[in-house]
Structure 1
Amino acid sequence: MADNSSGNLTDELTALDFAAVSPQEFARIVKGLSAKQLGEVMHSELRARVLGEVFGRMKQQFRPEAAGPLKALIRWKITGDTDTVYETAIADGACTISEGRSDAEPRTTLVMADAEFLKLVSGNGNPVTMFMMRKLKVAGDVGLASGLTRYFDIPKA
C-alpha cells in the first residue's frame, strides 16, 4: 500500500477481504494511512464494509472477564458524509452489537468523525488526547467512556 494515490488505494482496499484481515493487520493498515487517505477511504463505497467489519468484530474482541457485572448501552455515532449509528450492549458478560439507533437510553454516547473512529478502534489514537482536542465527544457517563478500552482487546500496530 505504498502508493499514495487515492484511486489505487481505494482499489487495493476494495479488493481486500476484510474478513481475512487480522485486527493487528487492520491496525497496521490504518497506521500507514494519513488522515486525508482515511477520509478518502471512508468517503467511498468501502465505508459501510469497513464499519460493518469493525463492529462485527467487537463481539470477538470483547473481554467479559474485564467487564464483570457491567451493564451498559454504548451508542457510537460516526460522522462523515452520512452519520452512522451503532450500539454496543454489554450485560451478563456478553456483548451484542446492533446497527442503528434504538429507543433505549444509552449510558454513554461517543461521537467522532470517520478517521478518528478508525484510529480509535485500531489502537492508533489516544482516546484522552482525542477527547481533549474535541475530536471525540462524549455524552453521558464519561467514566464509562474513558474505561471502554479495557473491555476490548485493542490491536497494536
Structure 2
Amino acid sequence: MAALGDLDLEALDFGAVAPQEFARIVKGLPGRRIAELMAGPQRRRVLDEVFGRMHTLFKPEAAGDRDALIRWRITVSGLEPGADDDVYETHIAAGTCTVTPERTDRTPQLSLTMAAPEFLRLVSGNASGPTLFFTRKLKVNGDIRLAGGLTYFFDIPKP
C-alpha cells in the first residue's frame, strides 16, 4: 500500500482493506485528515463498511447470553448545517451481532455518541472508550457496565 501521505482516501476501497490495515491507516493519519475524510461524501460508505464488518469481528463467547441493543450516534460536526447525524444500532443476542443502519423504535440499553474521527479511532483500536469518555469525546447514556465491556465483545485490530 502507498505511504499514508500519498494515500487517496477518497478513492480507497475500504471494503478491500483488512481490519489491521485499516487500523494502521487510521493510526497514521492526523486528526485533521480523518475529520476531512469523514466530512466528505465518503463518510457514509466508510461507516457502512465499519458497521458491516462488526458481525465478523464479534466474539460470541465474550458476550455470553447477553441480550442488548446498542445505539451509535456518529455526530456530524464540521458538516454542512442541517445535516443529520448517522445512527446505527447493533443488537447482540443469542450469540450473534446484527446491525441496523438506522435508528429504530426499539429502546436501547446503551447509547453512544461521538464524532466520526473518535469513532474511527475507537473501532480501529487507536483509542480507548474510557479515555474518550473521560475527555468528553464520547457520551454514554444507559448501561455503563455494558459500555465498559463492549470492546471485549469484538476482535478489535491492533494497529
Task: Give the TM-score of the pair, scaled to structure 1.
Answer: 0.93
Q: Aligned-pair distance for 1:36?
A: 0.7
* SS of structure 2 residue aligned to 1:13: coil
1:119-147 Cα offsets, whole Å, 9 max, x none, are: 00000001111100110000000110110
Find 2:144's aligned residue among 137, 142, 145. 142
95, 103, 106: which one pairs with 1:104? 106
Q: Which residue of 2 aligns with 1:127?
A: 129
Per the TM alignment, residue 2 of structure 1 is displaced from its structure 2 partner at its CA by 3.9
Contact 2:26 2:120 in 1 (8 A): yes
Summarize deviations over 1:93-151 as a string: whole Å, max 9, x none.
01100011110100000000011000000000011111001100000001101100000
Partner in structure 1 of residue 60 of structure 2: 64
Matches within 5 A, 1:1-157: 1-3=3-5, 12-80=8-76, 81=79, 82-157=84-159
**Runs of 4+ with deviation above 2 angstroms:** none
Instruction: Provide structure 2 residue ranges, at least 5 long, that are not aligned to the other structure.
Output: none
Assess, with a 3 A threshold, how the Cα gap between structure 1 residues 77 and 44 changes in structure 2: closer, same or farther.
Answer: same
**Whole-Å Cα distance in 2 between the matches of residues 15 and 117 of structure 1?**
21
Amino acid at match of 1:34: P
Letter in 1 for 2:105: D
Q: Over the residues paired in the alignment, what is the CA RMSD in angstroms?
A: 1.1
The count of corresponding residues between Structure 1 and Structure 2 is 151
Unaligned residue ranges in structure 1 (runs of 5+): none
TM-score by length of 2: 0.92
8 Å contact from structure 2 (residues 124, 157) kept in 1: yes
